Structure 1
């Protein structure tokens, strides 16, 4: 049972970091920069299985393209002489799909921790009643 709690706990950490990355990406999807600068770079969490069934861990992060996309907005305060600004190349539907998957994964692993805890407590009660 303690292994189940440890494994699910490691997955909770990965899913929390995944949720953090997705929320950061969504919050910055409309962040404009000047065309001579870099666009916000979306962050993608890389997960890796632990050795000998010890759970899952964050192995690192990858970042999206700093090139972004150029949009013609001559009235924008950051527009260049041609009226262009740079936005991140973030696919909102992809990010929303990732948000749902990370959220569901977090919920499932939190439920595993709760059930394992309840099972452990029930086992302790059995030992006390004898």
Structure 2
């Protein structure tokens, strides 16, 4: 694989992990979104990644899978959206899982960024050798 190939593959990894972080951020931001029991709860988003075939390879976003629209019912009779029995619907977002996903996505992004940096430095060093 060439230096440019390494940069390309790492770039695809950065794109996927950025989209992963965006989805996790959206999940965390909507963790406390309340809806009426007659409506769907916020659906947790999960980014699906797949290997790219051909060329130098890499990874791409294959799609987004949505979590359950059922959410969880919470008894909160004072809430303006509460039904006749005093229930509202909260999303089924597990904050500890989301924070773990965020850390993994951040580390993946950092690792791919480090590959880009090192490949760029190697290319610049090769250019310096050619000038000598």
Q: TM-score range by the shorter chain?
A: over 0.9
Structure 1 spans left out of the alignment, 5+ residues: none
Which position in structure 2 is the counterpart of 1:98?
A: 101
Partners of 1:79 and 1:111 in 2: CA distance: 50
TM-score by length of 2: 0.96
Partners of 2:66 and 2:72 in 1: CA distance: 15
Partners of 1:81 and 1:118 in 2: CA distance: 65
How far apart are residue 54 of structure 1 and its match?
1.3
SS at match of 1:39: coil
How far apart are residue 124 of structure 1 and its match?
0.7
Which position in structure 2 is the counterpart of 1:121?
A: 124
Moved over 4 A (4+): none
SS at match of 1:51: coil
Over the residues paired in the alignment, what is the CA RMSD in angstroms?
A: 0.7
Which position in structure 1 is the counterpart of 2:62?
A: 59
Which position in structure 1 is the counterpart of 2:82?
A: 79
The C-alpha deviation readout for 1:60-96, integer Å capped at 9, x for no partner, is 0100000100000011111111110000011111111
TM-score by length of 1: 0.97
How far apart are residue 59 of structure 1 and its match?
0.3
Partners of 1:104 and 1:118 in 2: CA distance: 21
Which position in structure 1 is the counterpart of 2:40?
A: 38
